[in-house]
């Protein structure tokens, strides 16, 4: 899904987009599938929120609640696949509306409506029988084309509606964490170990690994000399640290960025 925020350092996210997606792994036959809901800030590729649980509306609602709790309570732009985040967003970024009484019959029941500044866009991908992508459609669920365009205008890096950042992160999760690879013997027998491993992998991605798309030129006259770049991690792009951390520093520092 999409929206925007930072982990421990809370900042104004009403102008930032955050993506959220999910990765799945069967933990044990008696527990069924274990899903990790992932919320990412596209401008910095920072993994903002993780939530582990079943793929249900209740868990999706809890995930959106974590996003709101770790932010400034403003309504950012969310982008997701065509799943039921629509109801989950209404739970935390909506209000009760009481329709006026028409004068006859029973009083109408209150209904939940989105806040005026909430923007939510669904990315719907159509694939052929072989799984190849044929078409991508965008559906604005909450907000207007003008309000969505205004958010992208103020964003630094992400200028279009997409879920590519979270999909890329999901692929890296599976590459780096054998517990997420399908049809292997690396599954976790207990959910607590499965969740802890994913949480640690997310911290490694945020604090120790530099992202090529986040590097900045530090050469004053780059046109005259060979440009030099400062490679940055997502946490550096968020202003949380000033240099990449080693695994040892990460373990001893133990930043409280994940629930």
Q: Which residue has the higher pLDDT, 187 or 16?
A: 187
What span, in angstroms and rounded, lies between the C-alpha atoms of 164 and 193?
28
Task: Answer with the residue of higher pLDDT: 74 or 135.
Answer: 135
- Cβ neighbours around 28 below 10 Å, total: 13
CATH code given to domain 17-101+110-188:
3.30.2170
Task: Tell which phi-psi region holds residue 144, choosing left (phi > 0), alpha (psi between -120 and 50) or beta.
Answer: beta
Indicate the angle between helix axes 57-69 and 85-92, nearest 10 degrees: 40
Q: What is the pLDDT of residues 96-155, one digit of tens each?
A: 888 888 888 888 888 888 888 888 888 888 888 888 888 888 888 898 888 888 888 877
Task: Give the side-chain half-sphere CA count within 13 A for 124.
Answer: 9
- Give the pLDDT score at 224: 66
Rounded Cα distance between 26 and 188, Å, is 8
Q: What is the pLDDT of residue 101?
A: 84
**Are 240 and 6 spatial neighbours (Cβ–Cβ below 8 Å)?**
yes
Tokens of 138: 């965008």
CB atoms within 10 A of CB 143: 21
pTM of the model: 0.76
pLDDT for res 28: 43
Q: Is the pLDDT of residue 18 over 70?
A: no
């Amino acid at each position: 899904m999409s929206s925007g925020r930072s982990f421990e350092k809370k900042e104004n996210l009403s102008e930032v987009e955050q993506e959220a997606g999910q990765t799945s792994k069967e933990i044990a036959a008696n527990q069924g599938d274990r899903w990790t809901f992932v919320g990412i800030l596209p401008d910095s590729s920072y993994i903002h929120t993780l939530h582990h649980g079943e793929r249900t509306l209740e868990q999706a609602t809890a995930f959106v609640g974590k996003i709101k709790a770790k932010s400034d309570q403003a309504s950012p732009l969310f982008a997701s696949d065509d799943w039921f985040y629509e109801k989950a967003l209404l739970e935390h970024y909506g209000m009760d509306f009481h329709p006026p009484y028409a004068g006859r019959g029973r009083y109408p029941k209150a209904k939940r409506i989105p806040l005026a500044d909430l923007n939510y866009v669904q990315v719907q991908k159509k694939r052929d029988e072989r799984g190849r992508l044929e078409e991508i459609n965008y559906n604005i669920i909450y907000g207007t084309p003008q309000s969505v365009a205004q958010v992208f205008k103020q964003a630094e890096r992400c200028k279009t509606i997409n879920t590519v950042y979270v999909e890329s992160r999901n692929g890296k999760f599976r590459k780096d964490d054998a517990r997420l690879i399908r049809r292997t013997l690396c599954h976790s027998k207990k959910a607590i170990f499965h969740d802890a491993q994913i949480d640690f992998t997310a911290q490694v991605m945020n604090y120790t690994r530099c992202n090529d798309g986040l590097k900045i030129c530090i050469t004053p006259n780059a046109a005259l000399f060979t440009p030099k770049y400062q490679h940055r991690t997502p946490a550096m792009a968020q202003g949380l640290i000033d240099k990449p951390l080693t695994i040892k520093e990460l373990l001893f520092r133990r930043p409280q960025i994940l629930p």
